[in-house]
Amino acid sequence: MAIEITSEDIFTPEKLKSHFKIYAGPGAGKTHFLVENVKNIVTQNSAIVESRSRKVLCVTYTNAAVDEIKKRLDKFTDCVDVCTIHGFIIEHIIQPFQQDLISLMESDFGISVRAKGKITSQIEGLGILHGIDKNEIYEYVKKLNPSEFSSDVFDYSKKAMGEIQTDNNSFADSVIKGETRQVKLKAPSKIAECHIIPLKQYVWSVVRKLTHDEVLYFGYRILETNPTALYAIRVKFPFIFVDEFQDTNPIQTLLIKLIGQRSTIVGVIGDIAQSIYSFQGARPTDFGTFSIEGQRPIEEYVINRNRRSTANIVNLCNFLRQSDNKVKQVSKRAYNSEDEKAKAEAKKIHFLIGSSQNVQGIIQAVIQDGGVVLTRAWAAAFDYIRDIDDEQSELLKSIYSSYRPSPIQLRDEIVEHNNVTWVRAFRFIFMLWEGYLNGSFIDILRSLQLYGSIDPQKITPKVIYQIGKISKDIFSTIGDDTCTVSIIEAFNSKIKEQEYIDLRKAVFDDDFEIPLFDEYDDSRRDLINGLHWGTSHKLFTEVFSEDSKYMTVHQAKGLEWDKVIVSVTPNKFDKIKLSALFSRPQLIDETPSDEFTRMYYVACSRAKEDLYIHIKTGCSSDTIETAIASFVAQTKMQIAYEIVS
């Protein structure tokens, strides 16, 4: 039985002698608990205070979470290392133990790699072969394996070649079950068996990059085979806290367990009901069954308080997670006054059934009032944005689907990175356009800097005039149904004309043009060509912006808003209908239907005061009323709601 605690509790030195596991739902104050206990350890615990080299390690799931914890730790960060699991492995295992890495490549996979430079991780959001000439890869493999080389069977895309990597699932399963180690590479079916090893040798030897899965594999294998490396980690980090543990995959769990078998105290914090990353290997049951072999026991705690949401929202979330007996949340939201509390707690849950004008009007009013729409896939957001026709909406959904099997997160690319070729081209043309419309020369220069270095001394009045002239020429005939690609192509055509020679020399090369596509875009080129100016501009400025009102559930994890509209619809792979979700919600198992329920739960739990659940089809009001009435009768947890159709 887990011991109930609050997010304000500070663990005593006695409690910190044992590993611990904390069950904590949304809004429980997990980050607050983590930060305050870390501060206490680095100022009071002798293992840290009496050493200049020892630190507390905090591992969390995203870079955004890393930044948030660092911000809250403030002046205490010198004694704490906050990072993602990949960041931890790269910095503390892969980089300092390069020779072990190279030896394991040889012993595990028969691939010989010379020690001629650091091997590190692939760049976030880019294919591992990004920027590599495919002919160079062919020549390398041909030299290694001339008898098997044939140009008619070696026509692989860089995307396919980059997907060759360690088979972490098979390896982890074999370790967990105590069976013969399954050490192998996995590759797309189109890659011939005889080419797998040579291609992987090229990546490790020449590109010298590891995929994200390979970082995990070799991180674990180095610690497993090198006692000195494992000892060094344990000495440096006497305490390891892992936040969002439900999102870790089996090989990450094996690595944490290995470190915790001696000396280091491990604390894991998580919530089975928020495990929504099965596509990355996460298994919700791994959190519930987590234990560490060794002399230390693992103590279990639970935080049942919810400091985020009103009682109605908390109880609806309890309704969705009723199959989980570990956590039963109670709203403990703070209010500035009794009047504010009364107004907030009086707000009902709103079930919006169907797509009538009344329902659509309510949704648009909520969005205008600062509400956020949470959907299953980002393209579904266009069902809620005005002035986007059905054909363009379907086009966006197809583009979204084309990125599913790739490591590229398109929203991150558009908001932050601009690494994808067509994304950078679109970003450039929109920035140039907005600078032209607003008369902002600074914005125009920022757009040009996406492709060239700007020397202020070369920006003469003549160059400024040419920037204005080319902008007027290409933007004067834009309509919402003009294709964005055609405007970029118009720029490429214009910039080559003689009258813009000064602009070319000041910013670009003589033969410069904005690149639109690369090999990774072959399968989606026609789709992107069909995007209208109005559609793609909304994509970049409304959906994929830092203050977007439209997000997927996965992007929203860890965030919160006063008003939330949940529009999450199951597909055929989820093997569930909304009527079944409400009739008998199940979320603790590793089935597709359970994961869909967890996704629904996460979406609803983002709301602080106003929760609107939009059900277009698939569930009647009678089903909802019957299910909630039964839950209230059994638990005495009151849920005030209304149904609008």
**Cβ 157 vs Cβ 522: under 8 Å:** yes
Task: Report CA Rg, the chain.
Answer: 27
Q: Could you tell me where the DSSP H helices lie in 261-347?
A: 284-288, 311-320, 338-345
Q: Which residue has the higher pLDDT, 318 or 503?
A: 318
What is the C-alpha to C-alpha distance for residues 617 and 535, in angstroms, rounded to an integer?
26
**Cβ 284 vs Cβ 327: under 8 Å:** no
Task: Return the structure tokens found at 525.
Answer: 């080129």
User: Average pLDDT over the chain, rounded to whole?
Assistant: 91
Taking the model in full, what pTM does it have?
Answer: 0.87
Q: Are strands 185-186 and 165-166 parallel, antiparallel or unpaired?
A: antiparallel
Q: Which residues fall in the annotated binding site?
A: 24-31
Query: Looking at the predicted structure, is the pLDDT value of residue 586 above 70?
Result: yes
394-403, 413-422, 543-552, 591-600: which has the minimum mean pLDDT?
Answer: 413-422
Residue 125's pLDDT band (boundaries 50, 70, 90)?
Answer: low
Render 152-194 in DSSP notation, one character per residue: TT----HHHHHT-EE-HHHHHHHHHHT-S----EE--TTS-HH
CB-based burial, 71-84: b 16+ in 10 Å, e otherwise = ebbeebbebbbbbe
What is the C-alpha to C-alpha distance for residues 525 and 70, in angstroms, rounded to an integer?
41
Q: Which residues fall in the annotated binding site for ATP?
A: 24-31
What is the C-alpha to C-alpha distance for residues 249 and 636, in angstroms, rounded to an integer?
37
Query: Looking at the predicted structure, is the pLDDT value of residue 153 above 70?
Result: no
Q: What's residue 595's pLDDT?
A: 95
Render 429-478 in DSSP notation, one character per residue: HHHHHHHHHHT-HHHHHHHHTTTS---GGG--HHHHHHHHHHHHHHHTT-
Task: Return the structure tokens found at 153.
Answer: 């069977």
Task: Return the structure tokens found at 57.
Answer: 């390690």
- The pLDDT tens digits for 296-354 are 789 999 999 999 999 999 999 999 999 999 999 999 999 999 999 999 999 999 999 99
Q: Give the residue-averaged pLDDT of 492-511.
A: 86
